[in-house]
Amino acid sequence: MRRITTIEFDGAGKRAIDNAKGRVVVTIVVFSLCFGVISARLIDLGLLSGMAQASTQGPADGGRTARADIIDRNGVLLATDLRTVSAYAKPSAIRHPEIAAARLASVLPGLSAADLEKKLRSSSSFVWVERKLTPAEHAAVIRLGIPGVDFRTEIERVYPHGNLAAHLIGYTNVDGVGKGGTERYFDARLKKDGAGGKPLQLAMDVRVQHVLRHEIQMAMEDFRALGGTGLIVDVNTGEIVAMASLPDFNPNEPGALIKKPAYMNRASHAVYEMGSTYKAFTMAMALEHNIADLEDGYDATNPIRVARFTINDDHPKARWLSMPEIFMYSSNIGSAKMALEAGGDLQQDFLRSLGQLDKPEVQLHEVGAPMTPTVWRDINTMTIAFGHGVAVSGLQLAAGFAAITNGGIKRPLTVLRADPAFPPGGTRVVSEATSRKMQALLRLVVEKGTGRKADAKGYLVGGKTGTAEKSGVGGYRRKALLSSFISVFPVTDPRYVVWVLMDEPKGNASTYGFSSGGWTAAPVVKRVIERAAPLLGVMPSDDETHPLVPAMLPLIQPELRS
């Protein structure tokens, strides 16, 4: 066995070892102190300066709360958050403001070197150099390596489709607060769900929205209209599949929202006297309450004179008109006599049941309240029968029209996609028999009446024209028209209501100078249906008439039977 020998030092050797141990201890202490100083400095530069910055500029991401995405009914992204980089400077740390400003301006297009120099010479502790840098701009500023210039991440709300559905989706301000449309109405919910949370799914179909907006935009240009608007509504669920209002705006540039006409949602916020589209409600009221039936009629030989008012027909037949003829010819005289026989009380009750006299409930803040007479006199009853004397929004008109054509059930409108497992409830407002007759009358208008230009072949469109004079100082302005068309298709088994209104269209060569709803709005509806129906899963049919239409033909004068 090997013996292990322990060597012990004494004297000079022991002293040498003790000195070496002392040096090692001193070295360790020195290194520890240096490390501590460096760590403290790093904390000061990082954590403390970051806290100081936060105290003057708010929390990270520019103080904005992350918001959940918004998607359409098919999952297409409509609004989302993106993280962007912005450059800022601490003026006190900039040694040569003039040189720094010139160098920054050289890599940031559109930045004024003179304006930036003023910022860098200010007494502020924090100034923005440029917001929302592109990746290339970010890299270029980094390469400059200017002391006192740094970056911070911000959240930016982005709308991939721009103007397409600006009024429906809405926008957020610089602080990330919803300021319009669904962004405003669901502001708290979108913030609560935050980034990565469950998206807000709308009923809108982005493809159908494009069709509606594009056709209205083209018509505005063709007829030099001041504006245009439209809706597509599912009559069985109340879902708003498309909503367009022109002129519109780009929600990616909220700072540009200075033009009130572009900000106004003409489909939900504006209210209009709807003209002859309202005759559909008058006819439904008369049929539902047995005021008259299809075989009955009214004398439209002479205008109606009440005090200083005179009610005329635009295209007078100057004879007795059957109920189908009153609707097909759009007779003001016949409609007024029909409503007067029903009475103002019944008219008010019926219109209220259709949601025409109360502000509609829908998930938007931009919803207009109807304008109704303070005192409902006989003259009001007669003029309201053909759409003058009461002003409603497009939402109200579409909801009421859906109710009288879908079998008689009024359902609330919604901007959110409905859950197929939980069909929406509703309230019966007319019988199935009355609704069936209205379907046939609406088809008659498109087959043989004022709505022929809305006849999209294969889709059995039924509808009603509307032309109303805009009110002004001293009365109505005869040449300032609100021209519209409201429709339902397919009329034998209604699926969707389509409404289009043009604000002050001007007739052109293709309309022979006419600017009424049948000439300007009806063709828009036709093109919308032709393009949108396949996207909505509505297949064309070979059947071109409603079964009740042939039964009504004997009630019409011979010139229109064929």
Cis bond before residue 160 (omega within 30° of 0): no
Ranked by mean pLDDT, the top range of 25-29, 126-130, 399-403, 420-424 is 399-403
User: Where do the H-state alpha helices sit in 108-205?
Assistant: 113-120, 135-144, 166-169, 181-185, 187-193
**Both structure tokens of 273:** 């006297």
Residue 240 has pLDDT above 70, yes or no: yes
DSSP class of 174 = T
Question: Dihedrals φ, ψ of 74, to 5°?
Answer: -105, 10
Confidence of residue 34 (pLDDT cuts 50, 70, 90): low
pLDDT at 38 over 60: no
pLDDT higher than threshold 70 for residue 11: no
User: Rounded to whole angstroms, how far apart are CA atoms 103 and 230?
Assistant: 51
pLDDT at 502: 97
**The pTM is what?**
0.83
CATH of segment(s) 84-157: 3.90.1310.10
Residue type, 136: A
Q: What pLDDT sits at residue 83?
A: 86
**Whether pLDDT at 270 is above 90:** yes
Catalytic residue list contains 39: no
* Cα–Cα dist 405/439, whole Å: 6
Per-residue pLDDT band for 384 (boundaries 50, 70, 90) equals very high
Q: Where are the domains of the chain?
A: 84-157, 208-560
Query: Smallest Cα–Cα separation from 191: which of 67, 59, 60, 62?
Result: 67
Question: pLDDT tens digits for 144-164?
Answer: 999 999 999 888 899 999 999
Rounded Cα–Cα distance for residues 47 and 52 (Å): 9
Asked if 321 and 329 touch (Cβ cutoff 8 Å), the reply is: yes
The stretch 14-25 carries a mean pLDDT of 58
Residue 4 confidence (pLDDT): 45
**Alpha-carbon distance 461 to 527, whole Å?**
12
Q: The tokens 């006419």 sit on which residue?
A: 514
Q: What percent of the chain has pLDDT over 70?
A: 86
Q: According to the model, what pLDDT value does residue 15 have?
A: 59
Give tens-digit pLDDT for 400-452.
Answer: 999 999 999 999 999 999 988 887 889 999 999 999 999 999 999 999 999 99
State the Cα–Cα distance between residues 374 and 34, nearest whole angstrom: 86
Q: What is the 3-state secondary structure (H, E, C) of 400-414?
A: HHHHHHCCCEECCCE
Mean pLDDT calculated for residue range 330-337: 96
3-state secondary structure of 484: strand
Least Cα distance to 90 among 140, 42, 50, 136 occurs for 50
pLDDT score, position 207: 98
pLDDT digits (tens, 9 = 90+) for 212-236: 999 999 999 999 999 999 999 999 9
For residue 174, the model assigns a pLDDT of: 80
The DSSP line for 54-102 is: HHHH-STBTTPPP---EE-TT--EEEEEEEEEEEEE-GGG-S-HHHHHH
Give the pLDDT confidence score for residue 387 in this predicted structure: 95
User: Average pLDDT for residues 390-397, to the nearest whole number?
Assistant: 97
Q: What is the pLDDT of residue 193?
A: 87
310 vs 316: CA distance, rounded Å: 14
Find residue 240's DSSP bridge partners.
233
- Return the DSSP state at 371: B
Give the CA distances from residue 245 to residues 167, 214, 219, 323, 467, in Å, rounded to whole numbers and listed in that order.
Answer: 7, 11, 13, 35, 19
Q: What's the pLDDT tens digit per position in 84-120?
A: 899 999 999 998 999 999 999 999 988 898 999 899 9
The pLDDT of residue 30 is 52
pLDDT band at 64 (very low <50, low <70, confident <90, very high): confident
- Output the pLDDT for position 421: 81
- The distance of Cα 111 from the centroid of its chain, to the nearest Å, equals 34
- Residue range 183-210, pLDDT digits in tens: 999 999 999 988 778 999 999 999 999 9
At residue 542 the predicted structure's pLDDT band, cuts being 50, 70 and 90, is: confident
Higher confidence at residue 536 or residue 54? Answer: 536
CB 338 within 8 A of CB 371: no
Which of 396, 384, 499 shows the shortest CA–CA distance to 451?
Answer: 499
Q: One-letter amino acid identity for 265?
A: N
- Which of the residues 39, 55, 124, 276 is marked catalytic? 276
CA 531/CA 550 separation, integer angstroms: 29
Distances (CA, A) of 436 to 213, 287, 405, 441, 455: 31, 11, 7, 9, 19
Q: For the chain, how far is it from start to end, CA to CA, in angstroms?
A: 130
DSSP state of 235: T
Q: Compare 261 and 345 and report the one with higher pLDDT.
A: 345
Say how many CA atoms lie within 13 Å of 516 toward its Cβ. 16
Q: Class of 208-560 per CATH?
A: alpha beta
State how far the alpha carbon of 491 is from the alpha carbons of 56, 171, 330, in Å: 63, 37, 19
